[in-house]
Structure 1
Amino acid sequence: MTPDDLTLTPTGLRFAGRRIPCTIGRGGITDAKREGDGATPRGVHRVSGVLYRPDRIVPPVSWAVPIGPRDIWSDDPTDPEYNHMTRSPSTFGHERLRRADPLYDLVILTDWNWPDAEPGRGSAIFLHRWRRPGYPTEGCVAMAPADLNWVARRLTLDTRLIV
């Protein structure tokens, strides 16, 4: 571990000398991640990017990518673009990145099953804001908006999420 690592512990996410309350997937932590299981995959995952809603927030880092109105994330194992950001319209299953709620106003991407995605091994393992404290995710790591912003401003492309 390095000081740049985000480390998930039983008491929260440790990063840059702070402990940040967070939630994980409703399926707990798993060594055998599968699409739709609601679990957070165990392992060392590199931060691979940051997405943000330019109509709602300023970019937290210079390398953040704005989320556009047609941006989606494929979660359909039959899609050739599985576990990648793509654009609508799409006939494949996906998550809209530009949501009406603020859940994905700021998204930290990880390299779980990316860039060479194995179909069905799980997709869209992000760090994002939580719905409310203690409310589980579909496999992501979620935290309070202020904590997410604080983390995002201190990230580098060498940062790893250790689960």
Structure 2
Amino acid sequence: MVLTPRGLRFMGRSLPCSIGRGGVSGRKREGDGATPRGIHRIVGMLYRPDRMARPTDWALPIGPCDLWSDDPRDPDYNKMVRAPHGFSHETLRRPDPLYDLVILTDWNWPISAPGRGSAIFLHRWRRPGYPTEGCVALAPEDLLWMARRITYQTQLIVP
């Protein structure tokens, strides 16, 4: 899949998407709101089993205590962790539907450089054109369509 000015190109389709409020950057830093330039592999998929059916056999459920560390001081920076967690983090089981389906990339993972940025996901958008904190966001129906067709190690190319 390739990010283009018209959207995310995948399997012959152009899917409208939103990217980070900081645009695309080759110098990604934690909190800059940028989507990192590069070739990123898909390394996982998470979903809310209380809100949707399992989209593919390799998707893992998001549990009530699942978090994602975004604190560069945390030894588990840019990794999935469990509550309670003493460092800054994102809650994966959100009250809104933003993370009902999350596709994980290998940005700054599995060995994380502190401060280089965390949690570059593909997830649903808040609304068309609304920027993310660095992730790639799509309409829920496009995200689900794509999730059912990607495989582990599919590449997300951000030129």
What is the TM-score with the length of structure 2 in the denominator? 0.99
Q: Which of 132, 138, 143 pairs up with 1:137? A: 132
Residues 1:69 and 2:64 aligned together: yes
Q: Give the corresponding residue for 2:94.
A: 99
RMSD, aligned α-carbons? 0.4
* Total equivalences in the alignment: 158
What is the TM-score with the length of structure 1 in the denominator? 0.96
Residues 1:122 and 2:154 aligned together: no
Compute the displacement of 1:158 (Å): 2.8
Q: Give the corresponding residue for 2:19.
A: 24
> How far apart, in 2, do the equivalents of 1:72 and 1:106 lie?
14
> How far apart, in 1, do the equivalents of 2:4 and 2:68 lie?
28
Q: Give the corresponding residue for 2:84.
A: 89
Please, which runs of 5 or more residues in structure 2 have no aligned partner?
none
Please, which runs of 5 or more residues in structure 1 have no aligned partner?
1-5
Q: Give the corresponding residue for 1:60.
A: 55
For the residue of structure 2 that corresponds to 1:148, the secondary structure is helix
Compute the displacement of 1:59 (Å): 1.1
Residues 1:111 and 2:106 aligned together: yes
Letter in 1 for 2:105: T
Q: Which of 3, 6, 22 pairs up with 1:8? A: 3
> How far apart, in 1, do the equivalents of 2:99 and 2:82 lie?
16
Percent identity over the alignment?
72
Deviations 1:17-49 (A, max 9, x none): 100000000000000000000000000000000
Letter in 2 for 1:146: E
Letter in 1 for 2:102: V
Q: Give the corresponding residue for 1:41.
A: 36
